């Protein structure tokens, strides 16, 4: 393909420009006029409430949830409605059902809280779970199953204690041994 004379001139000009040829002399630019300030925006008129429309008032706050009665059942001398996780584990360890090193899983979902940890005595292994109304409900939109529902769902797998009035359940499961789970729960829980 042949290059035309114009292509050669443009190519050489670009080469000289890129290799450091002196720049063309600067021509002073005329000052540009400043842009005009934007025109003021017309304010939109605020709609006035019609005479027949009542003024909207903020919705009243919901009344606080009624305080639940405290469960009469205790573990380590503390009501199961109020016992904290460390005291609970210490009482279960004292009964001989929890190892020295225990990983405690606890959390609050909606209006219920859960405390769960592993059990071990000899060859028997299982789980201890306490489900109750949370002292401080979480802001989650969902909720954990109620203690009543969880107790009903697991009653055939182990030992279950339910205090419906206080909304608290204890679910103790020993793998494959519901009778052993019942004995363990009876040793730990004072009704």
Sequence-distant (6+) residues with CB within 8 A of 7 are none
Q: What is the pLDDT of residue 146?
A: 93
Domain parsing of the chain, residue ranges:
74-188
pTM value? 0.64
pLDDT along the chain (191 residues), means of 10: 64 63 58 63 61 57 62 95 95 93 92 94 95 85 87 94 96 95 95 88
Nearest Cα residue to 132 out of 44, 73, 53: 73
Q: What is the pLDDT of residue 67?
A: 74
Question: Do residues 105 and 124 touch, judged by C-beta distance below 8 A?
Answer: no
Q: What is the pLDDT of residue 8?
A: 60
Phi, psi of 94 (to 5 degrees): -60, -35
């Amino acid at each position: 393909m042949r290059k035309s004379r114009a292509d050669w001139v443009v190519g050489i000009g670009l080469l000289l420009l890129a290799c450091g040829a002196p720049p063309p002399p600067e021509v002073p630019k005329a000052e540009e006029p400043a842009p005009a300030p934007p025109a003021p925006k017309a304010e939109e008129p605020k709609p006035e409430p019609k005479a027949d429309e009542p003024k909207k008032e903020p919705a009243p706050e919901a009344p606080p949830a009624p305080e639940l009665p405290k469960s009469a059942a205790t573990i380590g001398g503390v009501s199961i409605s109020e016992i904290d996780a460390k005291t609970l584990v210490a009482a279960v360890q004292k009964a001989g059902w929890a190892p020295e090193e225990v990983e405690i899983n606890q959390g609050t979902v909606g209006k219920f809280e859960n405390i769960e940890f592993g059990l071990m005595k000899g060859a028997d292994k299982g789980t201890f779970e306490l489900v109750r109304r949370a002292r401080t409900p979480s802001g989650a939109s969902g909720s954990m199953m109620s203690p009543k529902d969880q107790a009903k769902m697991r009653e055939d797998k182990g030992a279950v204690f339910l205090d419906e009035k206080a909304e608290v359940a204890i679910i103790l499961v020993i793998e494959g041994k519901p009778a052993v789970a019942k004995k363990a729960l009876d040793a730990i829980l004072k009704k």
